[in-house]
Amino acid sequence: MFIITQLITQLCANIIFSQALGTSTIIIAARNKKNLAFAACTIMLFTTAGSSLAYFADKVISSENQNWLMLCYVSIIALLYVCALTLLWLINKNIFNKAKLYIHISAFNCAVAGSMLMAHNKAVGMHIFYNYFKSGLEAGIGFLLASLILTAAYKNLNSSKVPASFRGFPAMLVYIGIISMALYALK
């Protein structure tokens, strides 16, 4: 029962279905089924690490200098992006060569930056590292769940039975909308 409750909570607070964060990214990644799984896992790592580092940024930036917050968050994402590229280069140069053209899509997007901003908004007046980490991890898991749901329907949404004008991207939007509507009712 606990797992079901947690799953429903995760789905209801999902960054794609309830906040549309990272929709463009999931649609770009969905053009290739393999890319979707890779992008979702990478984004989960970026949202978790990004939100955790946002904790330190929020400690440094005073409430009067909130205008600089986005610049600071983008710098954090840039740092994570460089770290990810370096790590891939050290692990395997073949994977690095393949991933270097796509990994920026997983780093600089609304899902990662949005999860950092959400963690910031949730932590008003109460800066606890664990809350930032949890918020980022939840956003990442939410993105992963959304991509799993999309992967399950990928074949049908791109099937020849769907009218050509609606095949792929438009059908995917309507599909996300219907799931979002179901989750809206669950709330």
Partner 1 sequence: MKMHNFSPVDGLLRDNTVLSAGMVISPIIICGNNLQNAVALIYAFSIITLFSVALASFVPQKLPYAAKIIAYAIISSAIFIPVKILTEQIYPQCSESIGIYFPLLAVNSLIVYQTEVRFFKMRKLKMISSLVFYILGFDFVILLVGFIRELLAYGTIYNHVVNMDSIISGIGAPFGGFILLGLLCGIFRKLRTIASSGNDSDSEVK
Does 135 participate in binding partner 1 (rule CB under 8 A)? no
The sign of the CA dihedral 69, 74, 77, 78 is negative
Binding mask 81-120 for partner 1 (x = CB under 8 A): xx--x--------------xx--xx--xxx--xx--xx--
Q: How many CB atoms lie within 10 A of CB 165?
A: 8
Q: For the purposes of burial, counting CB atoms within 10 Å of the CB of 34, is it exposed (0-12), middle (13-18) or buried (19 or more)? A: exposed
- Residues 39, 77, 141, 145: which binds partner 1 (CB under 8 A)? 77
Does 71 participate in binding partner 1 (rule CB under 8 A)? yes
Within 13 Å, how many C-alpha atoms sit on residue 177's CB side? 6
Q: Which of the residues 141 through 170 are near partner 1 (CB under 8 A)?
A: 163-166, 169-170
**Nearest approach, Cβ of residue 98 and partner 1 (Å):** 13
Q: Summarize as ranges the residues that interact with partner 1 (CB under 8 A).
A: 17-25, 27-28, 67-71, 73-75, 77-78, 81-82, 85, 100-101, 104-105, 108-110, 113-114, 117-118, 121, 163-166, 169-178, 180-181, 184
